[in-house]
């Protein structure tokens, strides 16, 4: 079973995922990210509640980060359990995504990079 919730902080959308992100959950994750990306190019996906992630959902995250970066933003991941982090490393995705220990750090990373990039993703505005 999996669950998703999204809320916006200025120009950043935080998506909280929980449960098993397997092939059953992948379409709902895809829809949640698509809705978020339609509003903001800057996403933080909080994986604190995720116990397992499979290739289907990793594929969805990969497509999501590509789209976010094409839109001038990014999709950052936070709060990975050691097991979920190992799965990402197995796929080489730890070299693709920014991985943050907390949601606050991921949000701060957007604010820190906003001065250097053309597109501003400022969670405080």
Partner 1 sequence: MPDHFELTVPSDLAYLERIAKFVTEAALRLGLSEQQAFEVQMAADEASANVIQHAYGPGLAGELHIRCEVEGDDFVITIRDHGRPFDPDQIPEPDLRCPLEERQVGGLGLYFMRRLMDRVSFRFDPQAGNELEMRKRRSA
Binding site for partner 1 (CB under 8 A): 1, 20, 22-24, 52, 54-56, 58-59, 62-63, 65-66, 69, 83, 87, 90-92, 96
**Encoded tokens for 89:** 């490393």
> Residue 46 phi/psi, 5° resolution?
-90, 115
Which C-beta is closer to partner 1: that of 67 or that of 120? 67
Which C-beta is closer to partner 1: that of 9 or that of 65? 65
Q: Closest distance between partner 1 and the C-beta of residue 58, in Å?
A: 6
Which C-beta is closer to partner 1: that of 22 or that of 122? 22
Q: Tokens 């001038």, residue? A: 72
Q: Closest distance between partner 1 and the C-beta of residue 57, in Å?
A: 10
Q: Closest distance between partner 1 and the C-beta of residue 45, in Å?
A: 16
C-alpha pair distances (Å), 19 with each of 46, 73, 85: 12, 27, 15
Q: Are strands 12-21 and 42-53 parallel, antiparallel or unpaired?
A: parallel
Which C-beta is closer to partner 1: that of 82 or that of 115? 82
Q: Is 16 helix (H, G, I), strand (E, B) or coil?
A: strand
């Amino acid at each position: 079973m999996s669950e998703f919730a999204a809320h916006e902080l200025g120009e950043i959308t935080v998506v909280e995922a929980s449960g098993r992100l397997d092939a059953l959950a992948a379409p709902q994750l895809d829809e949640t990210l698509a809705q978020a990306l339609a509003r903001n190019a800057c996403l933080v996906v909080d994986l604190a509640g995720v116990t397992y992630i499979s290739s289907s959902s990793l594929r969805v995250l990969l497509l999501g980060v590509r789209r976010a970066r094409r839109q001038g933003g990014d999709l950052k991941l936070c709060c990975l359990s050691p097991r979920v982090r190992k799965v990402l490393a197995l796929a080489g995705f730890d070299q693709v995504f920014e991985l943050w220990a907390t949601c606050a750090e991921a949000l701060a990373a957007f604010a820190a990079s906003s001065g250097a990039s053309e597109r501003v993703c400022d969670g405080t505005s």
